[in-house]
Amino acid sequence: MSYQTATSHIPADHVSATCRITMAGYATSWHEHEEFMFLLPRRGALTLNSEHSKHAQRIGAGVLAVVPPRRFHETASIRGEHCHTAVYVQRDFVSFCARKANGTMASGEAPRYCAPSPALLGALHLQSQLSGQSDATAATAVDDELPRYRHDLVDRLIASACVEAALSGGAQGRVDAELSREELVGEIKGYLDAMLAERIDIDMIALEFGMSRRHLTRVFREEAGESITDYQMRQRVVRAAALLNVPGTTVLAAAMSVGIESPSYLARLFNKFGMPSPRTLRA
């Protein structure tokens, strides 16, 4: 599903704006913003591709991506339910905060990746709480300027915390792998399960998840206790066995449904994983 973007998300007389997006199949076309964008997945993962990238970078919960102004980029969710927060900050305010921190953040830089600070997460949580309170009291406080002033202060707090996190650096692109290895392998398994009928190799999987072949195979084996190839083959056997329990399903049809063209090869896989032969299951 294509998500409609805009060159600017910040209302007049504001320094920042926070957008919370929850949708399945989230994806954007190539676009640019007039302001800095700080992107933080909260549930699920995103891919971020930019004009500076050779391939898409995978970012998950625990990674804050920073996209400078006027940098063409596209984003998309990686399967399943997805939720992320995007904070847009005026360039002048980013420069102001960076100077206060004795740092610099240039508009022409490539996207950078860092860890969200506790201050940023706390400010976002505070904003959610205040938004709920404002909704509950809106009918009785139409002319009250204090809530608007308070929200402006929180917007500035969030924006400054984004800049601070970006300047501190953190673990860069390795944050996601270190903080959510179990979640990452779970997503890889989900991808493999959905692609059982397709011929995909290790290099294709590595490209899908923005990882090197070596890192992918090592992380998967350490977390899953088996290789990616063995997991694929075992899942194909399980799926084929389930299909053979359906009346009328031939061995050839079950094999083809899991990406195996030879019934004899399917039989060898059944034997490897301690299963009765396909013909025995069908009978």
Strand order in the sheet with 64-67: 16-22, 83-89, 36-43, 64-67, 112-114
**Rounded to whole angstroms, how far apart are CA atoms 155 and 164?**
14
CB 17 within 8 A of CB 88: yes
CB 42 within 8 A of CB 63: no
CA dihedral in degrees (21, 22, 24, 25; nearest 10)?
Answer: 10
Task: For residue 4, report the phi and psi dihedrals to the nearest 5 degrees.
Answer: -75, 125
pLDDT tens readout for residues 212-229: 889 899 999 999 999 999
Per-residue model confidence (pLDDT) at position 54: 67
**Rounded to whole angstroms, how far apart are CA atoms 126 and 119?**
10
Environment class of 183 (CB within 10 Å of its CB; exposed 0-12, middle 13-18, buried 19+): middle
pLDDT tens readout for residues 113-155: 888 888 999 999 988 888 776 655 554 555 678 888 888 999 9
Residue type at 189? K
Name residues of the chain where pLDDT drops below 70.
1, 54-55, 79-81, 133-143, 169-180, 210, 283
In 3D, which of 242, 264, 271 has the Cα closest to residue 254? 242
Per-residue model confidence (pLDDT) at position 171: 44
CB 43 within 8 A of CB 81: yes
Show the CA angle centred on residue 102, arms to residues 97 and 105, nearest 5°. Answer: 60
Element (H, E) at 166: helix 146-168
SS3 of residue 38 by DSSP: strand
